[in-house]
Amino acid sequence: MLRRVIRSLAVLSCAGTCAALGTGPAAAGTPTHLAVSCTGSTATSVSATGVTVKGSATCTGPVNASLATTYTVAGVRATVTTVVPLVSGATQVNVTVPVVGVSAACSVLTNVATGATIATSCSV
């Protein structure tokens, strides 16, 4: 019985302290981080063996990026998505999608955490 009372007081004490600080119990003691921002550029090219996306991205911190490569083969469009881990600072991007018969391709590199577009490019 005494254990229940002590446990209830501890929970209420934490809830009251967290409410006074404007945070929830799960966030108590958790540092807040600013969103990582990135800038970059890519070039998308088509060859007989696939689509290649090369470029670089510079970020304010480590973040995962999503590289969506859309290509057309015989009039049919398809998209392949690749996760590209980006470090704080500059990261080289070099991804090849093996596919034959591509007539055109475009790519979009997106910050997964924020949804912001980092770079886009299309083959000419």
Domain containing residue 8? 1-32
Write down the pTM of the prediction: 0.72
Spatial distance between the Cα atoms of 80 and 82, rounded to a whole number of angstroms: 7
What is the total count of domains within the chain?
A: 2
Please list the pLDDT of the chain residue by residue as tens digits (124 residues): 444 433 443 334 444 434 443 444 444 444 444 689 999 999 999 999 999 999 999 999 999 999 999 999 999 999 999 999 999 999 999 999 999 999 999 999 999 999 999 999 999 7
CATH number of 96's domain: 2.60.40.10
47 and 108 assigned to the same domain: yes
**Do 50 and 23 fall within a single domain?**
no
* Residues found in the chain: 124
- Is residue 6 located within the same domain as residue 61? no
Is the domain of 28 the same as that of 44? no
C-beta separation of 19 from 12 below 8 A = no
Residues 94 and 108 in one domain: yes
